């Protein structure tokens, strides 16, 4: 990745910018009043549109050579990504930004577990320990407030606790879905560069979301101007500057460095929620979230250092 002065941008600097951009995602989603399927549809669609001018002849040739098997894998990855976006966006309607983002960012835990169960990949003792810590943190984060309310009903209304548990469950489903996206797209990513990979998978994801929106009878264009600004911001910020740059960084940095760096998203999102949404997470959420992040760190750092296939 090159700067305007011709110098190559440091992958670590690019990764830092990407983490900051991704941290804005939950805030942008909260600010929008559009249906969650529509938010996801235009975030993905505008990301593809923004990246289209960067696709060169070699990238188009790679796309033209995609076979039926790879196309099926791309559709599977796109479906998983669509599920991730919809359920995670919905989770933000029911629980705190801190809890939702922390749980959904636990995808390395589910990637490791899924690769172990589905692909027979070995999980080290450290990796298994990290998975256990993260899962324990999720339980504490989700059920800790309910236990506190049972002991002292004045701590938090029961309805709020139930709603938060539902939102946390949706975030958990979002983490599992995005782990499925990574697992499904692993073989496809090995044969494609960043831009062709993002283009084919995001296009599949957008088509799935469009089908869901049409099936639900949701309006596709009748939204206020500020909503379109938010849709574009979701695409250009978390989409292009965020996840696309992360995909690029994976070709230049060790994968465990990238995974661990993404732990900055829950921290950044939580701080932004405090400042921009006046949402201060309760102590139980912060404690449970810290345990989850510790588990993710242990799991990610347990992975064998090395660069993934380009």
Crossing angle for the helix pair 97-104 and 125-151, to the nearest 10 degrees: 160
How confident is the model at residue 294, as a pLDDT? 87
pLDDT of residue 8: 61
pLDDT tier at 232, thresholds 50, 70, 90: very high
| pLDDT at residue 31 in the model | 97
Over residues 238-267, the mean pLDDT reads 79
Q: Is residue 25 part of a domain?
A: yes
The reply to whether 61 falls in a domain is: yes
d(CA 239, CA 189) in angstroms, rounded, equals: 17
pLDDT in tens, 203-222: 889 999 999 999 999 999 99
Count of structural domains, the chain:
1
Domain assignment present for residue 155? The answer is yes
Residue 110 lies in a domain: yes
pLDDT at position 5, please?
45
Q: Is 307 a residue whose pLDDT tops 50?
A: no
In a domain, 293, yes or no: yes
Give the residue, 62 or 137, on which the prediction is more confident: 137
Helix count (H) and strand count (E) of the chain?
15, 0
Considering the chain, what is the average pLDDT of its residues? 81
Residue 40 has pLDDT above 90, yes or no: yes
- Across 118-137, average pLDDT: 79
52 occurs within a structural domain: yes
DSSP, residue by residue, 81-147: HHHHHHHHHHHTTTS-HHHHHHHHTTHHHHHHHHHHHHH-----HHHHHHHHHHHHHHHHHHHHHHH
In a domain, 4, yes or no: no
pLDDT band at 276, cuts 50/70/90?
very high
CB atoms within 10 A of CB 105: 25
The domain of 266 spans 11-301
- Considering only CA atoms, which of 33, 63, 39, 37 is closest in space to residue 51? 63
pLDDT for 189:
61
Element (H, E) at 52: none
* Per-residue pLDDT band at 97 (split at 50, 70, 90): very high
pLDDT given for residue 205 in this prediction: 93
Q: What element of type H or E holds 75?
A: helix 68-91
3 belongs to a structural domain: no
Mean pLDDT of the 247-260 span: 72
pLDDT of residue 134: 82
| pLDDT, tens digit (0-9, with 9 covering 90-100), for 98-123 | 889 988 888 777 877 777 777 677 77
């Amino acid at each position: 990745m090159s700067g305007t002065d011709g110098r190559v941008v440091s992958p670590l600097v690019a990764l830092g910018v990407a983490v900051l951009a991704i941290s804005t995602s939950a805030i942008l989603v909260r600010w929008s009043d559009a249906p969650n399927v529509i938010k996801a549809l235009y975030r993905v669609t505008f990301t593809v549109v923004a990246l289209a001018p960067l696709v060169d002849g070699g990238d188009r040739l790679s796309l033209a050579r995609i076979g039926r098997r790879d196309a099926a894998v791309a559709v599977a990855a796109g479906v998983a990504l669509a599920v991730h976006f919809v359920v995670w966006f919905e989770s933000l309607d029911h629980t705190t930004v801190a809890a939702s983002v922390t749980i959904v960012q636990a995808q390395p835990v589910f990637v490791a577990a899924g690769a172990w169960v589905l692909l027979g990949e070995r999980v080290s003792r450290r990796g298994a320990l990290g998975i256990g810590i993260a899962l324990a943190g999720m339980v504490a984060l989700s059920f800790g407030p309910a236990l506190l309310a049972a002991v002292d009903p004045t701590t938090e209304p029961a309805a709020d606790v139930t709603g938060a548990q539902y939102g946390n469950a949706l975030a958990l489903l979002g983490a599992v879905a995005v782990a499925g996206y990574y697992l499904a797209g692993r073989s496809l990513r090995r044969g494609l560069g960043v831009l062709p990979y993002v283009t084919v998978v995001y296009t599949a994801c957008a088509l799935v979301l469009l089908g869901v929106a049409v099936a639900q009878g949701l309006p596709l264009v009748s939204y206020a101007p500020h909503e379109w600004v938010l849709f574009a911001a979701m695409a250009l910020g978390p989409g292009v500057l965020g996840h696309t740059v992360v995909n690029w960084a994976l070709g230049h940095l060790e994968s465990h460095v990238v995974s661990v760096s993404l732990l900055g998203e829950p921290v950044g999102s939580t701080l932004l929620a405090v400042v921009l949404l006046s949402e201060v997470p309760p102590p139980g959420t912060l404690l449970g979230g810290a345990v989850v992040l510790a588990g993710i760190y242990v799991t990610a750092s347990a992975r064998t250092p090395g660069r993934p296939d380009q």
